[in-house]
Amino acid sequence: MIHEIKDNIYWVGVNDRRNDLFESYWPIPDGISYNSYLIKDEKTALIDGVKVGFAEDYLRKVESLARIEDLDYVIINHMEPDHTGVYPSLRRINPEVTFVGTEKARGLLESFYGITQGVKVVETDDFLDLGSNTLEFLETPFIHWPETMMTYLPKEEALFSGDGFGTFGALNGGLFDDQLDVEEYLDEAIRYLSNIVGAYSATLQSALANLKDLDIEMIAPAHGPIWREKPERIVQLYDKYSSGGARPGITIVHGSMYGFTEKITEQVARGARSTGLEDLKVLDASRLHPSYLLSAAWKRRGLIVGSPTYESRAFPPINNFLEVVEKKKLKDRIAGIFGSYGWGGGSAREIKDTAETLGWNLVTSPVEFNGKPSEEQLEDGFELGKKIAEEIEN
């Protein structure tokens, strides 16, 4: 289906419900959309594309609105292949079309697809005249690759934001925030932000600062809903969760091989609840993909990690989680640690190393125990949860 989102501006994207993993790693049980936009004017421009596997459907949509042989420009907000896989087909059908992107996008266009001719390089504040519309470009490096940019349409006050302001989730029968169950997409936006662009929160903050000078009535990202009713909602969410903001709650991420560590987990959770804390999430790292663990940790100010020792290190699922939070630079957490061991320790030390690397505020010493936890150690776990909750409340 094709949607006219503004006068002579059309959504020609696709929904991907075939793929279980985004970037072959992050789970997308509800699918994802690849949004592409066509602007018809004296000059015709496509903004972003779709994955190569959807080329036939995509090209048919575009062709129903404008002959591909007559396209003037393809605007490259982001070179990742989920947005650019159809570019060789576009060039093959229309050898004269001009690709427009940043200097780094030009290099990737050549590396990925061998396209070197008919490429126009733009920078921040450059303009492209389409006739009655003018496109303005804003470089936004590392949202989430170094070549990324956003495209602004001043006449319509519309921002085509690339991966910025995106969400996981296919578009279920609608396109705009006022047509969909927006709360589900906002929750998936946090997971998308933490998983995909979270590591570049500092550059995201810089981009948000630059966007404050623009009048924005509509945000059209490369993934997820188009925000026209309340575009400020997605902007505020991205601002909050890229600036260290988080809910006053606690995420407990734990692993347990034989149930000993799990006994402490239950006490830690009870201790946190004893203060009246309402927002508490307990997650078993053995049974959830790191995508969901990271998202939960990103949402809440408090983070407590518990692990048995496995060959002198943290339990592998916990170790995977630690690697992800380090890679994504999850900072500014009020944190606690607990761990068990049999013939030798190591899990608590490894978690503590990550906490120190990321600058987490460790409220109290790790709770460690050998074998089955004693009643005193169970009480220590209760106090650990309580202290973290009290620190958050303060």
Query: For residues 249, 360, 345 and 338, what is the CA-based torsion angle, rounded to 10 degrees?
Result: -20
SS3 44: coil
pLDDT of 346: 79
pLDDT of 285: 98
Cα–Cα distance measured from residue 314 to residue 307, given in angstroms and rounded to the nearest whole number:
6
Cα–Cα distance measured from residue 233 to residue 182, given in angstroms and rounded to the nearest whole number:
10
Residues lower than pLDDT 50 in the chain? none
pLDDT of 312: 86
- State if pTM tops 0.75: yes
Tell me the backbone φ, ψ of residue 44, rounded to 5 degrees. Answer: -110, 135
Tokens 């010493």 found at: 365
Per-residue pLDDT tens for 295-323? Answer: 999 999 999 999 999 998 899 999 999 99
pLDDT of 343: 78
Cα–Cα distance measured from residue 233 to residue 67, given in angstroms and rounded to the nearest whole number:
37
